[in-house]
Structure 1
Amino acid sequence: MISFHLLREAIIAVQERPPTLAGEALTAGKRKELLEAPHLAELINEIHVEAERAGREPVPPLSFADFQIVHSSGSRKEYEKPYFERRRRLLALGLAMALDDTDAYKETLENLIWEICNEYAWAVPAHLPNSIEQVLAARVPPNRYVDLFAAETAHALAEVLYLIGNRLNDWVTHRVKQEIEQRVFQPVFESSHHFIWTSMTNNWSAVCGGAVGMAALLLIDDRERLAGMQDRVVSAMDSFLAGYGIDGCCPEGFAYWRYGFGYFVYWAEMLYEFTRGTIDLLKQDKIRRIAQFPAAVVLSASACINYSDCRPTIRPPTGMISRLCSRLTIAPPAMTSVPSFHDDHCYRWPFLVRNLLWTEPERLHAPGAVGIFYFASTDWLVVKRETSKGLLAFSAKGGHNHEPHNHNDLGHFILHTEGDTLLADLGMGVYTREYFGKERYTHLHTSSLGHSVPVINGEQQAAGEAYRAVVTRNDTENGTVNFEIDLTHAYRPEARIHALHRCFEWKVCQDEARAELKLTDHFVFGEASVETERSIIEHFISFHKPVICNDQVVWQGEKGSVVLRYEPSELSAYVEAIELPSRDTNPLSAYCLRLYAGHLNQIYACRLVMECRLH
């Protein structure tokens, strides 16, 4: 990415730490501009409401009982809810003081920071060793283990000091610097051993590296030491970028693009500001392609193509995207408003602060990109067309079943009608110990039972890199997009399938605001199988309840519908209502349409037609 020689040269040349490292200098004029900006009014109101609440309510405790629950039951929410409530308050109080230039929240903020500094570990228990034996064998103790959230805490506290540290009690600022030095800087930068995340090719290397890198840029005065620190961050970022294909697709999904690539951008821009433009890590072809990823996968202001562990509804980070559009001269995805203060349940500092400081209102309500987008590195196809009444979109994927944040979803597809994703991806499940362990594919969100793919002779898709799809056709002919996938090797031998080919034909009639998807699954069963044992169940997943009527199934959205036509003499249809666990107490509802066919010939073709129409 950049040699240590050039990195060191640029850093030691800096005489004074610039006032723009947090994104902008918060001068009196800038504060006035932010407080009066119409597009920020709702967000700033939320900040003040949360700051006032923090002043009235006591800081939630982090008890040992909650700390150990993840190791006894696998549940993370008991400890993480109060943990992130503390970060929520830090974000609100820090920004309220910075924006208002008032000390009204000073005592509350100082006490909160002191409590955060008192925490046993900044890493969450789910990321710590499971037993005392493992703790004793570990290279670093729990209070010096740097995971995603320890790194994020260090950066958040460092940026609070950068913005308003001169107004806080000297004891508090000293304590923060001491804790960050001992808990984060020393274990990450002073040891010859590297944390495993420095070599990971997923979001961890970018988030941990970017957060500790920014904390160092904000706090470390020794330029030689700082240069060495940033060199280690560069190494982690090289690992992170290796996880992306040259086409810029994020295999972890759009939510992790926002997370991992977000921390890369926040760090890279802080380094750019620190070196007064000498080091510009955004000006790389691959970075530009990664930056354009949202334009392909964002469908509306809150909907996206959400393969992997990505929520079905997620708002683009308007600040980060505005900065990328300005710096790289690219078009934004569909965005209508700045995300809420509560959009990120972890209340990560840079997302909200950069949304506040970087969002350019003219980027909001700009038309989203349309066209055909294909990512060869992951075999994702996205087709978006504007019609006379709004957007119609189709997407399908290949790949393999050992991707980052993997779901067993080869051949899965999504249909979207102007704001409603009517055939959907369930997205991420509730993060528990089991969700990232051996039991991962017992969860509906991650198993192929939770995706719009067939079950063959009672067998679902298997996990592992050996279980993969092969794209055999990807072209457009007379306005019809043809996408064909060989799914033969997505299943274990127990499926007794000799061959399975899934074919999509997608055509949009823009003037009539409708589209047609022809879906054909060609099955060739193994010669040893017998007719009475041969069966398939086609699954179709949605958050909208399908209605079966004669030879049709209808999914009705607010502005459009999908109608599936099938042959009742060949396929029997039934709908299962599914309650999905969520982080909240109320479960989510989803629906699975199942089309069953049994006693099949050795060669069988399941042909279905779906019409999408906007009203």
Structure 2
Amino acid sequence: MTVHPGFAWPTDQMKQALRTARPAALKSVQSWRERVADTLHSAAFSDFRADLLAYEQKAREEAMPELSFSLYREFRDTGERKAYEQAYFERRGRVVATGLLAAFSPEPERLALLEDLIWNVCQELTWCLPAHIGAGEEARSGIQIDLFAAETAQMLAEMVVMLGDELDERVGRLVRGEIDRRIFAPLYRDNAPFGWERADHNWSAVCSGGCGIAALLLVEDEELLAAAVRRTLGSMVAFLSGYGMDGGCAEGIGYWVYGFGFYTYYADMLHLFSGGELDLLSGPKIEAIAAYPRHIHLSEGIFVNYSDSREREVLPSGLLSYWASHTGKPASLPFELPLLTGDPCRRWAHAMRNVLWSDPVWFAAEGQPANQATTVHLENLSWTISRGTVQAENGASWTAAFSVKGGHNDEPHNHNDLGHFLLHAGGETILCDPGSGEYTKAYFSPGRESIMQIGSQGHSVPVIEGTYQVSGRNAAAHTLAADVTSPGRAEIAFDLTSAYGEANNLAACFRHLKWNGPRGSEDAELVVEDRFVWKNAIDENTGGKRQALPFVVEHLISRFEPVSERGRIRWAGRRAAVTLHYDAACWDAKVEVLDAVDHDHRPLRLYRTALSLSRAGSMPESGQGAGPGSPVTECKMRFVVSPRGEGGKG
């Protein structure tokens, strides 16, 4: 495994660098107060400042939500986690808003409110969420460390160092004592093992990064600080191992923000506290990970959203600015400053860096022409994204894009979606991914494939002999061919056989996709050809005649209700339409409504178009994956993407 060369730093080198640079680094963090004040005074941050002020007013007028046992028990008793987490994140939001405003304008009444809020957080039984505490572990929950315990430690540590003498010294001592008891003692002194330290996904970066930043700020003992840095680096090795050299994040854009965001925040703080000597911010793999949002941005703030991600994300402007400045490559979307209330978890780390780092110069200008033709193939992740520009008759231009994923069915935040594809046009993903469902106990428990957003029944993939794709690392999309060198063009073929291990009569399943992106006024076209090879050639009950006995259904997922006629189905968005042409002599079409809730418990309605095999059509007996006498079923689907109101190519 290739890792950043900095992970091999000798301990003595680390100790010397930290010893020399720490005094100046602490002064730099203390200077954040002036930087926050200057930034929040600027007109560009007026909406952000108003959002903070409204939140602070709420904290003045309403009692702090209680984290009661009645809320705590819900996860174990019913599997629900929303009520506790709403109260928990509301508490964090009040601290974040008031803390930023205290740096902006440290009025006595505001500081007193902040001290009460911090004091209240320090009295919590645990800084973890109930979903992350093992059954029977309530007595030890105060020294358990999950994502949010680490975030809380970082928030409080940065706040007390930044505000310094503005806060009552008793509050500062309480914060230092609670972080020492809850974080430093179990993690760095007692060396208690935590499973997230070896995770190859966001947990290792967020947990180790949040705790590691608190250690850089608060730990004065040289030996303990060196041990903390060493242990944090071990977790960062694990985190980066989840990425290939293509920089692709299997968890999706939301978790790229989370995991790589906290990697960046720690790496930046380590760089500061070592005087630039301990640098985790360079190297080809790091730069490839930084480029991930640009690679998967379809258009107008819509991203490829496989796995547990939303298709529309307002990414932290500070994080994007930081990496655009570091690499010299601007973001591909216009500048938008996220509000604190736009983050359901009310994260201090993102909000503070948005204030410190955001720079509109690194973003695309409003009204900038649509993306030029590009094709990106993330080889390690097995995602392909291809974009082109459509020129409509009215002179407007917009992006038409296609994406398909391979991979395997044991990825972090996995969905069983091998061979699943997206079609995006006019700022909308018309054939879409369902995104993340609501996080409950069942969502992460055995049998989770029955949930629509997770199982293949909620994706644009086949159902074979009534079976969906199976879970596990062995269920993989094996790439047979990939022509991804032409801008705006892509052709890729997968062997999906291992994903359908429960289809008893299936010998092989292949999916071939060819995308011809738009060129100027031309329509875009995607041709999907699926090939099913069967084990049994003859049904004994039919007098030796070949029959299309196996049951095959092709599913297509959209948020737009389609209009269907024989041989043709059309989904219409605001500016663009997608039209499917298929062989109505062999396939019957039916539209089904899927009602669910999304990650934020809002109603979600999807339309699933099902093409069911009705007669055999041609049944070749040889070819790829087929032995002599093996019957084959083929399905060809041709999708035309055109400006709305135009029929596209016939």
Query: Normalization by structure 1: what TM-score?
Result: 0.94
Alignment correspondent of 1:89: 94
Q: 1:578 aligns with which of 578, 591, 594?
A: 594
Query: What secondary structure is seen at the aligned counterpart in 1 of 2:21?
Result: coil
Deviates more, 1:365-374 or 1:56-65: 365-374
Query: What secondary structure is seen at the aligned counterpart in 2 of 1:472?
Result: strand
Query: Does residue 374 in structure 1 map to residue 377 in structure 2?
Result: yes
Alignment correspondent of 2:258: 259
In the alignment, is the contact (CA less than 8 A) between 2:213 and 2:266 conserved in 1? yes
Deviates more, 1:52-61 or 1:337-346: 337-346
Distance of 2:602 and 2:489 partners within structure 1: 42
Alignment correspondent of 1:168: 167
Query: Does residue 497 in structure 1 map to residue 506 in structure 2?
Result: yes
In the alignment, is the contact (CA less than 8 A) between 1:534 and 1:598 conserved in 2? no
Q: 2:80 aligns with which of 75, 98, 120?
A: 75
What amino acid sits opposite 1:262 in the alignment? G
Query: Does residue 49 in structure 1 map to residue 49 in structure 2?
Result: no
In the alignment, is the contact (CA less than 8 A) between 1:482 and 1:504 conserved in 2? yes
Equivalent positions of 1:362-441 (< 5 A) are 362-366=361-365, 371-388=374-391, 389-441=397-449
Alignment correspondent of 1:483: 492
Deviates more, 1:377-386 or 1:207-216: 377-386
In the alignment, is the contact (CA less than 8 A) between 1:459 and 1:495 conserved in 2? no
Change (3 A) 1:81 1:529: farther
Distance of 1:330 and 1:404 partners within structure 2: 28
Alignment correspondent of 2:544: none
Distance of 1:373 and 1:309 partners within structure 2: 21
Distance of 1:89 and 1:539 partners within structure 2: 45
Distance of 1:563 and 1:358 partners within structure 2: 44
Equivalent positions of 1:306-345 (< 5 A) are 306-345=305-344
What amino acid sits opposite 1:536 in the alignment? V
What amino acid sits opposite 2:282 in the alignment? K
In the alignment, is the contact (CA less than 8 A) between 1:581 and 1:587 conserved in 2? yes
Query: What secondary structure is seen at the aligned counterpart in 2 of 1:104?
Result: helix
Q: CA deviation at 1:310?
A: 0.8
Query: Does residue 99 in structure 1 map to residue 107 in structure 2?
Result: no
In the alignment, is the contact (CA less than 8 A) between 1:318 and 1:335 conserved in 2? no
Distance of 2:22 and 2:175 partners within structure 1: 24
Change (3 A) 1:369 1:32: farther
Distance of 2:278 and 2:72 partners within structure 1: 42
Equivalent positions of 1:92-491 (< 5 A) are 92-130=97-135, 132=136, 141-366=140-365, 371-388=374-391, 389-475=397-483, 480-491=489-500
Equivalent positions of 1:29-40 (< 5 A) are 31-38=37-44, 40=45
Deviates more, 1:350-359 or 1:594-603: 594-603
Q: 1:606 aligns with which of 607, 624, 635?
A: 635
Query: What secondary structure is seen at the aligned counterpart in 2 of 1:580?
Result: strand
Change (3 A) 1:125 1:17: farther
What CA deviation, in whole Å up to 9, does each residue of 1:518-556 have, x standing for no partner?
A: 111111122167436312111111112222134321111
What amino acid sits opposite 2:633 in the alignment? Y
Query: Does residue 509 in structure 1 map to residue 512 in structure 2?
Result: no
In the alignment, is the contact (CA less than 8 A) between 1:496 and 1:529 conserved in 2? no
What amino acid sits opposite 1:526 in the alignment? K
What amino acid sits opposite 2:84 in the alignment? Y
Runs of 5+ unmatched residues, structure 2: 1-6, 392-396, 540-546, 620-630, 645-650
In the alignment, is the contact (CA less than 8 A) between 1:387 and 1:513 conserved in 2? yes
Change (3 A) 1:168 1:50: same
Alignment correspondent of 1:18: 25
Query: What secondary structure is seen at the aligned counterpart in 2 of 1:567?
Result: coil
Query: What secondary structure is seen at the aligned counterpart in 1 of 2:605?
Result: strand
Q: CA deviation at 1:65?
A: 1.0
Change (3 A) 1:256 1:480: closer
Change (3 A) 1:287 1:295: same
Deviates more, 1:603-612 or 1:468-477: 468-477
What amino acid sits opposite 2:432 in the alignment? A
Change (3 A) 1:399 1:554: same
Distance of 2:218 and 2:204 partners within structure 1: 21
Query: What secondary structure is seen at the aligned counterpart in 2 of 1:173?
Result: helix
What amino acid sits opposite 2:32 in the alignment? L
Change (3 A) 1:253 1:30: closer
Change (3 A) 1:553 1:382: same
Query: What secondary structure is seen at the aligned counterpart in 1 of 2:516?
Result: strand
Distance of 2:299 and 2:46 partners within structure 1: 22
Deviates more, 1:605-614 or 1:567-576: 567-576
**Cα RMSD after superposing both structures:** 2.0
Change (3 A) 1:323 1:399: same
Deviates more, 1:358-367 or 1:229-238: 358-367
Alignment correspondent of 1:65: 70
Alignment correspondent of 1:533: 549
Q: CA deviation at 1:585?
A: 5.5
Q: CA deviation at 1:104?
A: 3.5
Q: CA deviation at 1:370?
A: 5.4
Alignment correspondent of 2:563: 547
Q: CA deviation at 1:308?
A: 1.0
Runs of 5+ unmatched residues, structure 1: none
Q: CA deviation at 1:190?
A: 0.8
Identity %: 35
Distance of 1:206 and 1:571 partners within structure 2: 48
Distance of 1:343 and 1:505 partners within structure 2: 38
What amino acid sits opposite 1:415 in the alignment? L
Q: CA deviation at 1:424?
A: 0.7
Query: What secondary structure is seen at the aligned counterpart in 1 of 2:109?
Result: coil
Change (3 A) 1:364 1:500: same
Q: 1:524 aligns with which of 520, 533, 537?
A: 533
Change (3 A) 1:76 1:369: farther
Q: CA deviation at 1:18?
A: 2.3
Q: CA deviation at 1:436?
A: 0.8
In the alignment, is the contact (CA less than 8 A) between 1:21 and 1:270 conserved in 2? no
What amino acid sits opposite 1:429 in the alignment? G
In the alignment, is the contact (CA less than 8 A) between 2:527 and 2:638 conserved in 1? yes
Distance of 1:455 and 1:120 partners within structure 2: 48
Q: CA deviation at 1:249?
A: 0.9
Deviates more, 1:370-379 or 1:120-129: 370-379
Query: What secondary structure is seen at the aligned counterpart in 1 of 2:613?
Result: strand
Distance of 1:224 and 1:432 partners within structure 2: 41
Query: Normalization by structure 2: what TM-score?
Result: 0.89
In the alignment, is the contact (CA less than 8 A) between 2:332 and 2:364 conserved in 1? no
What amino acid sits opposite 2:23 in the alignment? E
Distance of 1:245 and 1:87 partners within structure 2: 34
In the alignment, is the contact (CA less than 8 A) between 1:97 and 1:103 conserved in 2? no
Q: CA deviation at 1:409?
A: 0.4
What CA deviation, in whole Å up to 9, does each residue of 1:573-607 have, x standing for no partner?
A: 12112222235554122211111114535311111
What amino acid sits opposite 2:387 in the alignment? K
Change (3 A) 1:563 1:262: same
Distance of 2:218 and 2:42 partners within structure 1: 31
What amino acid sits opposite 1:376 in the alignment? E
